[in-house]
Amino acid sequence: MSRLADRAVCCGCAACAQICPKHCISMQEDREGFLYPEMDSALCVDCGRCEKVCPALESERQMAAPRAYAAKANDETIRLSSSSGGVFSLVAEKVLKEGGVVFGCRMNDSLEAEHICVSSLQELDVLRGSKYVQSRVGDSFAKAKGFLTGGRRVLFTGTPCQISGLRAYLDRDYENLLTVEVICHGAPSPAVWKKYIQDRFPGAQRVKFREKREGWRNYHLQVNENSECYRDNDYMRLFLDNATLRPSCHSCKFKSGRSGADITLGDFWGIENVMPDFDDDKGCSILLVNTWKGEMALEGLDVEMTEVDMSLAVAGNQAYSHSVRPHINRAYFFSVLNRSGSFSRAYARMYDESLLGRIRHKLFRIIGL
C-alpha cells in the first residue's frame, strides 16, 4: 500500500488527495483542527502517485538565489487595502487583464479560509490581504492544471508548502504558470480561529487581519466593526507565540525559497533602518525575484522598487529562513480547548501564571493531566 507522510511533517496541501486516481484519499480534520490525508486501503491500488506528489516526502530542494527589492504600489488605495506594499494586487491585476486566472486564499461567508480561483478584477478584492489561518486547498491544484493544459495563464499564490505541493502535483514546469509564495510564520489552526469567532464575535460576517488605519506597524485585527491592535489581541498573541501552528511548521523544509516559487512576498520589517526615505508606515513589501518568470511578471507594473542587499531585506523577517519552536504549553492549550470547547477558557489557562496555573502546566508536561 502507498505511504502517506507522517503527521509531524504533513503540511496539509492535499496534493495526494487530488492526484489519487481511485479517490481513496480524503482530507480529514484532526483534534487540533488541521486537515490530514486518510486513505481507504480497500480502494488503494498501490500506484504510488500519492507518494510521488507529496512535498513532505520529496528530497529537499536547493535554496533560491533571489534578487531582493523594497517595493510598494504607487496607488495608495491599493496599498492601504493590502497587508504590506500591494505588490500581489498589481501582479494579479496584470494576469487578469491578460486573460488569465488567479488562485489565492479568501475568507468565505462562514469566515473559513479557502483557496479559490478568480477570473475578473471585480473578484480580486477577496484575495487581498493576509489570512492568519490555514486555508483549505480543496481541488485547486487540479483546477490549475486544467487551465494550464488549456493554455490559459495561471497565477497561483499561497504559502511555501502549498506552492511546493502544486509544483509536485504538476510534475513539470508550465511556461504559463506564475507562482507567488508569501513569507510564512506558520499556519494557525482553523479550529482555534473558529472557536475564537464563536466565543468573542458570534454571528460575525467580516474579518480583516491587517487593518492599517493606525499604520502598517500598528495593524489591527478587525472583526465586523471591532478593531484591536495585534499586540493586544488574544488570537494574534497565540499565533505569534507559536501556540496554534501546524506541527509541520516547526520544521518547515520549504523556507529560503525552496518551494520553487517565482516570486516571494512579505513585509519589509525594518525598512526604516535600511531605507528611511522609502518608509511612510503605509506598507512596504519584501519582493524577492527567484526566476526569470518572476522578472517578467514585474514588467510594466505601477510600483516603486529599489534593489537592496538580500541580508538586509530579510533581517527583520526571519520567517523567510527559520522555523519557529512551538510554545512550551502548546499541547496544554489544545487539551483545554478540546475539553472545554471555549477559546476564552483555553486562553486564560494557557497564560495563567499563578502558582496553580504553573502547577497545571508542569503536571500536563509530565503526565498529560
Same domain, 344 and 230: no
Average pLDDT of the residues of the chain = 95
Q: Answer with the residue of higher pLDDT: 243 or 225.
A: 243
Residue 127, helix vs strand vs coil: helix
Strand partners, 25: 39
The stretch 76-85 carries a mean pLDDT of: 93
Determine the Cα–Cα distance for residues 96 and 93; give it in Å rounded to an integer. 5
Same domain, 261 and 342: no
Query: Cell numbers of 155, please?
Result: 497565477
Asked whether the beta carbons of 328 and 242 are under 8 A apart, the reply is no
Asked if residue 27 is part of any domain, the answer here is: no
Interior/surface letters 329-361, b for 16+ CB within 10 angstroms, e for the rest: bbebbbbbbeeeeebeebbebbeeeeeeeeebb
Q: What is the pLDDT of residue 304?
A: 97
What DSSP character marks residue 6?
Answer: P
Q: What is the pLDDT of residue 59?
A: 73
Q: What is the pLDDT of residue 368?
A: 74
Asked if residue 325 is part of any domain, the answer here is: no
Same domain, 351 and 207: no
Same domain, 341 and 205: no
365 — pLDDT class (breaks 50, 70, 90): confident
Asked if residue 9 is part of any domain, the answer here is: no
Determine the Cα–Cα distance for residues 304 and 160; give it in Å rounded to an integer. 25
Same domain, 344 and 275: no
Asked whether the beta carbons of 269 and 150 are under 8 A apart, the reply is no
Same domain, 229 and 358: no
Indicate the pTM of the whole model. 0.95
Residue 143, helix vs strand vs coil: helix
Same domain, 183 and 207: yes
What DSSP character marks residue 122?
Answer: G
Whether pLDDT at 60 is above 80? no
369 — pLDDT class (breaks 50, 70, 90): low
Same domain, 97 and 241: yes
What DSSP character marks residue 81?
Answer: T
Same domain, 343 and 314: no
pLDDT, tens digit (0-9, with 9 covering 90-100), for 291-319? 999 999 999 999 999 999 999 999 999 99
Percentage of the chain surpassing pLDDT 70?
A: 99
The stretch 35-51 carries a mean pLDDT of: 94
Asked if residue 290 is part of any domain, the answer here is: yes
pLDDT, tens digit (0-9, with 9 covering 90-100), for 133-172? 999 999 999 999 999 999 999 999 999 999 999 999 999 9
Same domain, 221 and 359: no
Determine the Cα–Cα distance for residues 329 and 243; give it in Å rounded to an integer. 7
Asked if residue 119 is part of any domain, the answer here is: yes
Neighbour order of strands in the sheet with 285-289? 113-118, 101-107, 154-158, 177-182, 263-267, 285-289, 67-73, 303-308
65 — pLDDT class (breaks 50, 70, 90): confident
Asked if residue 53 is part of any domain, the answer here is: no
Same domain, 103 and 236: yes
Asked if residue 54 is part of any domain, the answer here is: no
Determine the Cα–Cα distance for residues 17 and 213; give it in Å rounded to an integer. 41
Q: What is the pLDDT of residue 68?
A: 96
Residue 7 CB coordination number (10 Å): 15
* Region of residue 271 (left: phi > 0; alpha: psi -120 to 50; beta: else): alpha
Whether pLDDT at 61 is above 80? no
The stretch 334-350 carries a mean pLDDT of: 96
Asked if residue 135 is part of any domain, the answer here is: yes
| Selection from 343, 262, 275 nearest residue 312 by Cα | 275
Same domain, 150 and 76: yes
The stretch 26-38 carries a mean pLDDT of: 97
Determine the Cα–Cα distance for residues 139 and 27; give it in Å rounded to an integer. 11
Q: Answer with the residue of higher pLDDT: 118 or 4.
A: 118
Relative orientation angle of helices 330-340 and 190-200, to the nearest 10 degrees: 50
Q: What is the pLDDT of residue 2?
A: 65
Query: Cell numbers of 54, please?
Result: 507529496
CA distances from 49 to 23, 121, 268, 314 (A): 12, 36, 39, 36
* Region of residue 172 (left: phi > 0; alpha: psi -120 to 50; beta: else): beta
Query: Cell numbers of 360, please?
Result: 497545571
- Domain count along the chain: 2
1 — pLDDT class (breaks 50, 70, 90): low
Per the structure, the complete domain to which residue 127 belongs is given by 67-320
- Residue entry with cell 523594497: 70
Residue 326 CB coordination number (10 Å): 17
The gap between the terminal CA atoms of the chain, to the nearest Å, is 37
Determine the Cα–Cα distance for residues 152 and 137; give it in Å rounded to an integer. 20
Query: Cell numbers of 53, please?
Result: 506528489
> DSSP labels for 145-164?
HHHHHTT--EEEEE-HHHHH
Determine the Cα–Cα distance for residues 190 and 34; give it in Å rounded to an integer. 7
Query: Cell numbers of 339, please?
Result: 475539553
